[in-house]
Amino acid sequence: MIAALALLLSLLAGPAGATAVATGAEPADPPPMAGRVVVLDAGHQLGNHNFPAQINAPVPAGGFTKPCNTTGTATDGGYPEATFTWQVTRQVRARLRDLGARVVMVRTSNRQDRWGPCVDERGRAGNDIDADLKLSIHADGSYAPGARGFHVIAPTARPGWTADIAGESASLARDVRRGLVRVGLPVADYIAGGDGLDVRGDLGTLNLSDVPVVMVELGNMRDPGEARRMTSARGRATYARGLVAGVRSYLW
């Protein structure tokens, strides 16, 4: 009798020895951002200043041309915008991947011997894969006295260019602003309107996008307090948390 019972239990056991009798356990839920595609554009490139001819060459920017790229700004201590945006963007990528998203990086290096991509390539990134959104990450370099804080730029509704994505981009901008405020970052006090939101029609990165897109200036690198935050690992993690919170809010 005992031997027969043991045989029955062994037949019911799974690979790890657990019985195969239904326990009522539900299958694990998929990650919250599974199936989502996010394009991240880390502003500029560390070596842009070494390639003036290339970055000054005109490229399409949405019905007009603009220089391919710029060198970006820096803190008064020499910490480059390109490095700041690269380090923050990599943290955003890691956090989004942990949430199950597919993340596409427009810029894939931060090197002195490289330049670009140009703004037209940045603007079109994600169009061919029907990405859910694109986030272009920058920092400002204003010399206005006391200028500090972040602002989020959405494309204006330009017929034939961005009219079809302007509404969703504005919604994304509001969610990104909310995410950055929630982690304690100040809204820019030197941008018209004072609400941390701006709308522009002169940026190729926005004009050439077919998916919802915003560009965020995370702060003013010329402000001593913001420079301290940007040059610290803890500060960069704060920026990344705020951006991810904004993306999650938009996609949910």
How many structural domains is the chain composed of?
1
7 falls within a domain? no
Report yes or no on 5 lying in a domain. Answer: no
Q: Has residue 191 been placed in a domain?
A: yes
For the segment 32-40, the average pLDDT, to the nearest whole number, is: 97
pLDDT band at 23 (very low <50, low <70, confident <90, very high): low
Q: Residue 18 falls within a domain, yes or no?
A: no
In a domain, 227, yes or no: yes
pLDDT in tens, 41-74: 999 999 999 999 999 999 999 999 999 999 999 9
* Active centre residues (catalytic): 217
As a whole number, the mean pLDDT across the chain is 92
Q: Is residue 1 part of a domain?
A: no
- By DSSP bridging, strand 65-67 and strand 58-60 are antiparallel
Mean pLDDT, to the nearest integer, of 109-113? Answer: 98
**Model-level pTM?**
0.89
Compute the distance between CA of residue 164 and CA of residue 62 in angstroms, rounded to an integer. Answer: 14
Give the model's pLDDT for residue 252: 85
CA dist 42 and 44 (Å) reads: 7
CA–CA gap between residue 23 and residue 203 (Å, rounded): 57
- Look at residue 22 and tell me if it is in a domain: no
- Would you say residue 48 lies in a domain? yes
Per-residue pLDDT tens digits for 182-223: 999 999 989 988 999 999 999 999 999 999 999 999 999 999
| Residue 220 domain boundaries | 31-251
Q: How far apart are CA 213 and CA 56, in angstroms?
A: 24
- Answer yes or no: is pLDDT of 160 > 70: yes
CA dihedral 149, 115, 113, 240 (to 10 degrees): 30
Which amino acid, residue 21?
V
Looking up residue 176, the CATH number of its domain turns out to be 3.40.630.40
- Looking only at the bridges linking them, the beta strands covering 133-140 and 213-220 are parallel
- The CB density around residue 150, as the number of other CB atoms within 10 Å, is 26
Which one-letter amino acid corresponds to residue 94? A
